[in-house]
Structure 1
């Protein structure tokens, strides 16, 4: 009954005339606190290339903004398709609900996503000319994962595959890709660096899914917490956060990463307090705070890891 009402409301809203959108609404809908997902992997991958003796500023900037616009576009598409498929409603915590609040029309949100993907693609074209045609594979993989994360026929986020896809796209692909556009060859070290970054970016998504557990359960959106339970989501969060430090340590011991990378342990108190609050949480507001804290941890961890790799040049 609730789903039918949501769909009726959605059809009614979609028929309203579009009005100019305020800049702050565009920014809000881009979900700024999640954009660390595009910053950390690019910094780490580029820093590793610098450690090996190569850095091209224009390549870095094109890569950075391409990844950033890809992430913003993904957020717009997620907002649009969750609305279109009746997965969100006016009271949804996960969504910006700008469509239901009539701050933006569905078409404007969709258009924002398309615009961001076009910008990301154009920057990707510049990288193709600078690096080579193999960059097409990186760009195509990133765009397909980003779009079908929410859209049919795959709807990765609703099939319990969102975590895997985010790990691959925002962890492995962005980190290793940022390295590759600087130094055009395979690197086990770049792959190793992408693992802890991938764990942390996946933890942001998982925290989002834990927060939205009740809403997702009501519409049968098959995220991992919905499939395996809220407690699983909380414990999975702990495993991802602690796993990022364990993975970094293993890769340092195995000499895939330089020893200064152990400096990421300076950020461990942030992870510990984060995990403790999430494991003890019984109210959704704790999970809301947890998302922002996890995003900040992802950024701080990524910056420290990147700086540590550069520091290894002089040690």
Structure 2
């Protein structure tokens, strides 16, 4: 193997380990939640938006890095080349970097609470962090019991949206709650798709992910229904006049949903080919969230 090839392989592994595209998971609740607030109140505080955005990215970095640490302790990542712990060989370093990211993220959210003289937002985010910990951290490790997708839905759906909307308006919104359901499902879908390439490793350590429980074939057959729910719910909310008609722009992300379902459906039993299938799910999450938020923004801009 040439030096150049080794360098390319190393870069790909670091990219996969740090997971830059995954940070759309932190960005979309802030974007869509703020867009809903703007559509309903015509209020948009840019400094709060960007402070929240950076803080959310840092908190997600904590979760991603600490999950690598926790998985290294159970043996779940023993064959995972793009684990930060495996790549650095220094579990303690990754653990403390993750904690530094958490502290910085919470500091940012605390400045929002201080400006508002209201601790509601920091309370909601601390609850999200608690969910993030029991997802993978000892002694809970609820993701090993197949509850990861449910926890992910609430942390990056209703709770994150409530905190975002409140940070902009100091109020609550049923529309924001409805939007959180759509984005929450899209977020949980990423986690669901990430299990397909590690079924054997998960089963070997007793990790009962949904794909382990259902099998890859039945899980792949479930995908079109999960993806379809994003569009069905949006349409329903438009009919009920909860969402503005512009939010139907989300249908422009439908080709990505079809690509995801076709890719996993045709290769569900070939884990070596599904290593990066989660990136298609991230792409769906990004475009569906971006378009949904744009639909809300357009109600005030057009």
TM-score, scaled relative to structure 2 = 0.90
Equivalenced residues, count: 290
Query: What's 1:244 paired with?
Result: 230
Q: 1:169 aligns with which of 142, 146, 155?
A: 155
1:24 CA drift (Å): 9.9
Name the stretch that deviates more: 223-232 or 165-174.
223-232
Asked whether the 8 Å contact 1:35–1:71 carries over to 2, the reply is: yes
Query: Where does the alignment leave 5 or more consecutive residues of structure 1 unmatched?
Result: 1-21
For the aligned residues, what is the CA RMSD?
2.0
Are residues 1:300 and 2:258 paired? no
CA displacement, residues 232-252 of structure 1 (integer Å, 9 cap, x when unaligned): 322333222111111111111
Query: What's 2:143 paired with?
Result: 157
**C-alpha distance in 2 between matches for 1:135 and 1:104:** 37
**C-alpha distance in 2 between matches for 1:68 and 1:261:** 25
Query: What's 2:201 paired with?
Result: 215
**C-alpha distance in 2 between matches for 1:306 and 1:220:** 39
Query: What's 2:179 paired with?
Result: 193
1:97 CA drift (Å): 2.8
Secondary structure in 2 matching 1:288: coil
Change (3 A) 1:286 1:258: farther
Query: What's 2:7 paired with?
Result: none
Name the stretch that deviates more: 63-72 or 74-83.
63-72
Q: 1:43 aligns with which of 27, 31, 34?
A: 31
Query: What's 1:16 paired with?
Result: none
Q: How does 1:1-315 map to 2 (within 5 A)?
A: 29-52=17-40, 53-89=42-78, 91-92=79-80, 96-101=82-87, 103-131=88-116, 132-281=118-267, 282-315=269-302
Change (3 A) 1:230 1:92: same
Query: Where does the alignment leave 5 or more consecutive residues of structure 2 unmatched?
Result: 1-9
**C-alpha distance in 2 between matches for 1:24 and 1:161:** 30
**C-alpha distance in 1 between matches for 2:218 and 2:95:** 33
TM-score, scaled relative to structure 1 = 0.86
1:30 CA drift (Å): 2.9
